[in-house]
């Protein structure tokens, strides 16, 4: 989208939000709205100055809760900046609150005062059913039809025929490993779950990490789904009590070899740089940044498969800056932003058009990051009591209680 078109879209979004706030309106206001709509679409008569003036009629700011690395303004690397242009074109200043786990995102959204959140599937349904986020009017997000069809009505944000967000990025949780310790990529997650001698002749005890979040229980369930088929695990997020007990036993055993659980990606990068860790589940961004730094690290998806995340930008029910929030939702689907972010984070764009012609991502980037692996990933979602075939499964609150206990042992 070029700058002029984006500014015209600003006029449209602002006008539509005003109409929404006013309800049916009087004949006079309806006529005024019609004039505004004509002006916004009558390109020959519209001027860039008028569009810029209309853009200034928004609230002037938007506050977003985001995963670290999701909203770059060039501070880390000037090549990666998709915030500055948005601020310049709309007049909406972006403030960012980093959150390192889905639980933290839910807690922050529950406090209120924020406009948007880049929620993963293990948080999005909690926010929807908890009444924390509002339905999104996708007619106010003109580029929504460019979103990957696999994501447009995904169950973690499309509920009862309503959209509760705009897809942002997705990707797998990969196994990161030290290439000096593993001359060949490890083929199994066993290197982080079970004590063993690694290819360098040393034990993996005290040299591997696990994720600091209850949703990691699903990673262990996926491991057992492959190695213990007699348990009958179908979905790693929906576990009967018997299945759950076996998973907790595995994680308790893992606790004997894992000295540290990570949730801050920058701290994990430091751990792998100077603390002697050689393998862990991780996000692609850690692998990218460590490789940029020249560290001997790579990643793989082992034979058991991988969990993953599909993140959706959702709006708080009481968003204090809805005009700027809707403008950001549209901006978030810009192909250049999507491609640049995918290159930075090691993720897959929600907009397939971003996969070609992006200098940073390259035309091979989407394939490398897993575009064709969508159906192989078990995306994060919130465990509930009602699961499948009339069975009762262990709920997320129990996952939280038990995982905290495992980490404190």
Give the tens place of pLDDT for each residue, 340-389: 999 999 999 999 999 999 999 999 999 999 999 898 899 999 999 999 88
Answer whether residue 44 shows pLDDT above 50.
no
CA distances from 36 to 6, 29, 177 (A): 16, 10, 57
Kind and range of the H or E element at 262?
strand 260-262
Model pLDDT, residue 388: 86
Structure tokens at 173: 């949780």
pTM recorded for the entire structure: 0.81
Closest CA to 222 of 195, 251, 182: 251
How many whole angstroms separate alpha carbon 11 and alpha carbon 55? Answer: 6
Q: Which residue do the tokens 């002029």 mark?
A: 4
Answer whether residue 75 shows pLDDT above 70.
yes
Model pLDDT, residue 355: 98
Answer whether residue 20 shows pLDDT above 50.
no
Q: What is the mean pLDDT of the chain?
A: 89
The reply to whether domains 3-171+309-374 and 172-308+382-407 share a CATH topology is yes
Domain 172-308+382-407: give its CATH code. Answer: 3.40.190.10
CATH topology (fold) of 3-171+309-374: D-Maltodextrin-Binding Protein; domain 2 (3.40.190)
Answer whether residue 55 shows pLDDT above 50.
no
Average pLDDT of span 145-157:
97
Q: How many CB atoms are closer than 10 A to CB 46?
A: 18
Answer whether residue 27 shows pLDDT above 90.
no
Q: How many CB atoms are closer than 10 A to CB 132?
A: 21
Q: What angle do CA 253, 258, 261 make, to 5 degrees?
A: 120
- Domain segments of the chain: what residues? 3-171+309-374, 172-308+382-407
How many whole angstroms separate alpha carbon 142 and alpha carbon 166? Answer: 11
List the beta bridge partners of residue 61: 93
């Amino acid at each position: 989208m070029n700058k002029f078109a984006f500014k015209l879209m600003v006029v449209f979004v602002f006008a539509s939000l005003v109409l929404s706030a006013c309800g049916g309106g009087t004949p006079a206001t309806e006529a005024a709205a019609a004039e505004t709509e004509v002006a916004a679409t009558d390109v020959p008569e519209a001027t860039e100055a008028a569009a810029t003036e209309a853009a200034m009629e928004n609230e002037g700011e938007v506050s977003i809760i985001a995963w670290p690395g999701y909203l770059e303004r060039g501070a880390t690397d000037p090549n990666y900046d998709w915030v500055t242009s948005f601020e310049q074109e709309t007049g909406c200043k972006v403030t960012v609150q980093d959150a390192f786990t889905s639980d933290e995102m839910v807690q922050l959204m529950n406090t209120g005062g924020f406009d948007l959140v880049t929620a993963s599937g293990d948080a999005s349904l909690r926010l929807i059913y908890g009444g924390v986020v509002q339905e999104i009017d996708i007619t106010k997000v003109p580029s929504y039809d460019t979103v990957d069809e696999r994501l447009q009505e995904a169950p973690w944000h499309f509920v009862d025929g309503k959209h509760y967000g705009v897809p942002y990025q997705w990707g797998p949780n990969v196994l990161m490993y030290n290439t000096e310790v593993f001359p060949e990529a490890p083929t199994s997650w066993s290197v982080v779950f079970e004590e063993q001698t690694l290819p360098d002749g040393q034990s993996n005890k005290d040299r591997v990490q696990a994720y600091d979040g209850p949703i990691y229980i699903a990673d262990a369930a996926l491991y057992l789904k492959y190695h213990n088929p007699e348990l009958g695990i179908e979905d790693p997020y929906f576990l009967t009590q018997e299945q759950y007990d076996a998973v907790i036993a595995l994680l308790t055993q893992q606790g004997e070899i894992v000295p540290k659980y990570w949730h801050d990606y920058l701290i994990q990068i430091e751990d792998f740089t100077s603390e002697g860790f050689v393998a862990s589940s991780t996000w692609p961004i850690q692998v990218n940044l460590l490789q940029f730094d020249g560290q001997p690290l790579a990643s793989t998806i082992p034979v058991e498969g991988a969990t993953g995340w599909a993140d959706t930008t959702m709006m708080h029910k009481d968003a204090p800056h809805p005009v700027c929030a809707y403008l950001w939702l549209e901006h978030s689907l810009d192909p250049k932003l999507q491609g640049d972010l995918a290159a930075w984070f090691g993720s897959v764009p929600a907009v397939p058009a971003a996969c070609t012609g992006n200098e940073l991502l390259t035309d091979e980037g989407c394939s490398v990051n897993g575009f064709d692996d969508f159906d192989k990933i078990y995306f994060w979602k919130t465990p509930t009591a009602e699961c499948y075939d009339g069975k009762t499964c262990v709920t997320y609150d129990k996952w939280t209680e038990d995982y905290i206990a495992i980490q404190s042992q």
